[in-house]
Amino acid sequence: MASYYPEPTNIWESIEYSSLGTSIAESLWAFPTLETIHVIALVTVFGTIAIMDLRLLGLAGNKWTVLEMSQDTLKWTWAGFILAAITGTLLFTSKASTYMVNPYFLVKMGLLALAGLNMAYFHFVTYKTVNDWNASPVLPSGAKFAAATSLVLWIAVVFCGRAIGFTLGIYY
């Protein structure tokens, strides 16, 4: 069968013109359906992270210990994140070369990396002493800083995600 797509000139075009990429791009329902699942996954990630961050900031849920709150929310955060990553990757394949020149997409990826680093630092450094402040309503400044940074980064991720939709095709 003849291909209607030009010969790819870089890796992003190779992804975009792959059978997976073109199937999603050409389908009437695939892209909106993936976007819908992406949004549901994203609000689950953002909402459960916000619950944990508000506890670390001492603004809500102070009756819960930090460990209890973490147990309640973390598995849902990860489930949402994995689903968002899978659907996000599939969305990316359909317009890979357009996304790769969009500054909001690149900034979003950078913000996600920063959110990951922030979480890793909190988990491997600040969280080591959690037993000392687990039940305290007032938490160490390191925990508060991680929570505030996380909230700001995730709101910025949501903003960039929306900005991509409004600027796709502007940049070449």
Partner 1 sequence: MGDFFYGLTDWLRTTSLLDAAFWIETTGFNRLLVENFWGVPIAQVLHIIGIGAAFAATLMMTLRVNNMAGTSRSIPEVSARYVPWIWWGLLWIVASGMLMLWAEPVRNMVNGVFWVKMALLVVTIFVTLAYQKSVRSAATVGGAGWNAGGGMRLTGWFIIILWCLIMAHGRWIAYAPV
Where along the sequence are the contacts to partner 1 (CB under 8 A)? 32, 35-36, 39-40, 42-44, 46-48, 50-51, 60-61, 63-65, 68, 71-73, 76, 155, 158-159, 162-163, 165-166
Q: For partner 1, which is the closer residue by CB, 109 or 163?
A: 163
Encoded amino acid at 126, one letter: T
CA distance 50 to 72: 13
Least distance from partner 1 to the Cβ atom of residue 47, Å: 2
Using DSSP, how many helices (H) and how many strands (E) does the chain show?
A: 8, 0
Q: What is the DSSP letter of 62?
A: T
Q: For partner 1, which is the closer residue by CB, 13 or 72?
A: 72
Q: For partner 1, which is the closer residue by CB, 46 or 105?
A: 46
Q: For partner 1, which is the closer residue by CB, 43 or 117?
A: 43
Least distance from partner 1 to the Cβ atom of residue 9, Å: 31
Least distance from partner 1 to the Cβ atom of residue 11, Å: 29
> Which class for 167: exposed (0-12), middle (13-18), buried (19 or more C-beta within 10 A)?
middle
CA distance 150 to 116: 9
